[in-house]
Amino acid sequence: MKFPRPFALLAALGLAACATTGDTPSRAADPLASPAAGEWTSDGRDYTAQRYSPLTQIDASNVGRLGLAWFDDLGTYRGVEATPLYAEGVLYNSLPFNVTIAYDARTGKRLWMYDPQVPREHARFACCEPVSRGLALWQDRVIIATLDGRLIALDRATGKPLWSTRTFGTDFTYSITGAPRVFGDKVVVGQSGGDFGVRGFVSAYDVRTGEKLWKFFLTPGDPAKGPDGEVSDAVMPWVRQTWFGDKYWQLGGGANPWDAIAYDPELDLVYVGTGNASPHARYYRSDNQGDNLFVCSIVALKGATGEYAWHYQMNPGEEWDWTCTQSMISADLTIAGKPRKVLMQAPKNGFFYLLDRATGEFISAGAHVIQNWNDGFDAKGRPITSERVRYGFDPALVMPGPGGAHNWFPMAYSPRTKLAYFPAYQSGFVYALQPNWVPQPARSNSGWGGYTGEAAAKRPPLQAQANAVEKAWLTAWDPVKQQVAWQVELPRHGNGGVFVTASDLVFEGTTKQTFAAFDARTGRTLWEFPTQSAPVAGGITYLLDGVQYVAINAGWGGGAAQIEQSSGTELPRAPARLLVFKLGGTATLPPLAATAPVEPPPPLRASEESIRRGTQLYAETCAVCHGPQAMGGVKDLRQMSRDTHAKFNDIVLKGLYLEKGMASFADLLNQQQTDDIHNYLIARANEDWGR
């Protein structure tokens, strides 16, 4: 096999190491398993996904001299969530709608740009903006997974397409926001869409040709159609036994693997983190019973064939929009005096988990935020779910809320400090069922309600209890002791992904609109740079010409903006930028433009009945992008200008802002329904902004 430099050198070094260390040939022969110290060639840097760099040039003694080397304006105000990749002097980056750019990593000069021409209307099927969380590299190619379901290989030198294949059709509301992963010679990719009513699956493709190798469904399909003809057929008979009623297969089931997918090359196991159930409310999807496999689980599959190996379900019968799609990190730890090969994860539900990565055996779990759903674990590690969080038509306060105690923002682990680092969020949410709920195509099919009448009156005091203890931190966690090592409190939810270096520095973007370095052992803030936007992405560090660089995308948005509860106000910010730092860097950002004052809303003249209808329609149709109760989101609709109010019908029904990703909803809404939503938004604006 031909390897471009330095991959050829890495392979040779790996084979030499095999003779002296006993590493398996599969690991030694794969340069993605052990990249050069100065490179960052996959999402988690290597297959452990520890986001740990062995570089030490930048350390506690000199990080204060870190300055901007260069930056690139990305031309968007949407969330930019990609972890850049670096190899052989070139930095690769991914923007919303999967626009991909290669840079000279010394100077920031653009070498090429590729736009896969994702239809902008497909943004309506993306839960939290048309984001891309990254790319994959393999030998001479860059792999991208597009929002509309294409897997494309690009020539690394030119950006020209080499092959393209579809991972799903156009008859379902799927999307892809997570980064594709290359494991050996396979590209493994998941998809999003659980909020809209789809059936999750993971699939693998030949990295050379794009040919499909295997596909594994994560929830059961229509029983009348028989087997799917996929590798998951072998487990579906017993998976189906965990579902009840006759609606689950019509509503998709969910369990979409929309972000982290990990790999152990020695075990040849692919670890798939699965998403929330669809619809959210188990009452409507499974007769209010059953574990509903494989929602909110880690599923291990054999890399060569895609066959089932084991699973662990964090939340049986999940119905709170919690996911287990967060970072999965491999490490070798000593626990109770014995060496263990572990997989660690901090999913949305507020616990930090250790599993045996060979068998899936539950080792331990510890809560890192206030939570009220878990009453412990049984002898086999199955969580004991409190009945008080199994909400009905009467509202119930559940902690954490749907934003999660740790969302997709990348986690890191240092083999030096033996600590994991991740952004944590303590929150709660008031859940209730919607009476007489009927699923709607291409909408957010949660089954949640309780926004009017008696239930609505009970919400505010319950939500106030959660808001009183709402906090956000950068958390350092000891996975062996299952306890906090240290925490740095940060102002609000949406603090970014984390990486750590061998010089014991932790880097993270913060909602103070800064990029910061912390002491990995104490949490002391060592350096902060004002970025003019909150960097939510995962950063990287690389070495070029003997100089260590640090790179981060600064682009506030995505789910972080939509879950924001504290004030609901939009952060004043610059357009998204790729920022690259080095010691002694002297580049400067242009001044932040002044934000226009929020105009007062129109007077409220609608009937209570219209506002009531608009409340429910907004929750079903708009909240997935514009935030619950119209707070935050892609665009805070309480802050519409007079001109936007005047164009409201044309925007919603005629697709006036299609190029911005706001497609026409004329297939879902009629004129009266659009007016009802508009009236609800005017009511919300008067309530919160018209004082």
**Across 331-339, average pLDDT:** 97
C-alpha 168/C-alpha 146 separation (Å) is 11
Tell whether the model's pLDDT for residue 296 goes beyond 90: yes
Using the CB atoms, write b or e for 4-31: b if 16+ within 10 Å. eebbeebbeebeeebeeeebeeebbbbb
**What is the pLDDT at residue 442?**
67
Give the least confident one: 1-10, 308-317, 508-517, 526-535: 1-10
Domain range 608-688, CATH architecture: Orthogonal Bundle (1.10)
Tell whether the model's pLDDT for residue 26 goes beyond 70: no
Tell whether the model's pLDDT for residue 625 goes beyond 80: no
For residue 600, the tally of other CB atoms under 10 A from its CB is 12
- Residue 51's pLDDT band, with cuts at 50, 70 and 90, is very high
Tell whether the model's pLDDT for residue 23 goes beyond 60: no
Q: How many residues does the chain have?
A: 691
**Across 1-7, average pLDDT:** 35
**Across 24-32, average pLDDT:** 61
**Across 427-455, average pLDDT:** 87
Tell whether the model's pLDDT for residue 146 goes beyond 70: yes
Tell whether the model's pLDDT for residue 385 goes beyond 80: yes
Sign of the torsion formed by the C-alpha atoms of 622, 624, 626 and 630: positive
**What is the pLDDT at residue 451?**
85
Tell whether the model's pLDDT for residue 101 goes beyond 60: yes
Give domain limits for the chain: 1-29, 608-688
Yes or no: say if 255 and 197 are a contact pair by the CB < 8 Å rule.
no
Tell whether the model's pLDDT for residue 8 goes beyond 50: no
Q: CB neighbours of 527 closer than 8 A, spacing ≥ 6?
A: 63, 64, 66, 516, 517
Sheet strands (E) in 231-336: 253-254, 261-264, 269-273, 277-278, 297-302, 308-313, 329-335
φ and ψ at 171, to 5 degrees?
Answer: -95, 5
> What are the DSSP calls for 64-76, one per residue?
GGEEEEEEEE-S-
C-alpha 517/C-alpha 63 separation (Å) is 8
C-alpha 461/C-alpha 654 separation (Å) is 39
- Residue 193 is which amino acid? G
The closest of 38, 306, 303, 275 to 182, measured between CA atoms, is: 303
C-alpha 521/C-alpha 645 separation (Å) is 52
- Residue 265's pLDDT band, with cuts at 50, 70 and 90, is very high
C-alpha 417/C-alpha 419 separation (Å) is 5
**What is the pLDDT at residue 567?**
44
**What is the pLDDT at residue 493?**
87
**Across 76-88, average pLDDT:** 94
**What is the pLDDT at residue 569?**
47
**Across 524-548, average pLDDT:** 97
Provide, rounded to the nearest whole percent, the portion of the chain with pLDDT above 70.
92
C-alpha 179/C-alpha 162 separation (Å) is 19
**Across 398-416, average pLDDT:** 96
Average pLDDT, the chain: 89
Query: How do strand 338-345 and strand 269-273 relate by DSSP bridges?
Result: unpaired
| Catalytic pick among 321, 675, 676, 688 | 321
**Across 301-308, average pLDDT:** 98
Read off the pTM. Answer: 0.87
Q: How far is CA 38 from the centre of its chain?
A: 26
Using the CB atoms, write b or e for 191-208: b if 16+ within 10 Å. bbbbbbbbbbbbbbbebe
**What is the pLDDT at residue 64?**
98
Give the least confident one: 301-310, 333-342, 431-440, 465-474: 431-440
C-alpha 577/C-alpha 77 separation (Å) is 9
C-alpha 278/C-alpha 622 separation (Å) is 17
- Residue 228's pLDDT band, with cuts at 50, 70 and 90, is very high
The CA–CA distances, whole Å, from 42 to 51, 82, 639, 687 equal: 10, 12, 40, 47
**Across 661-673, average pLDDT:** 82
Active-site residue, 233 included: no
C-alpha 588/C-alpha 574 separation (Å) is 14
- Residue 556's pLDDT band, with cuts at 50, 70 and 90, is confident
Residue 53 DSSP label: E
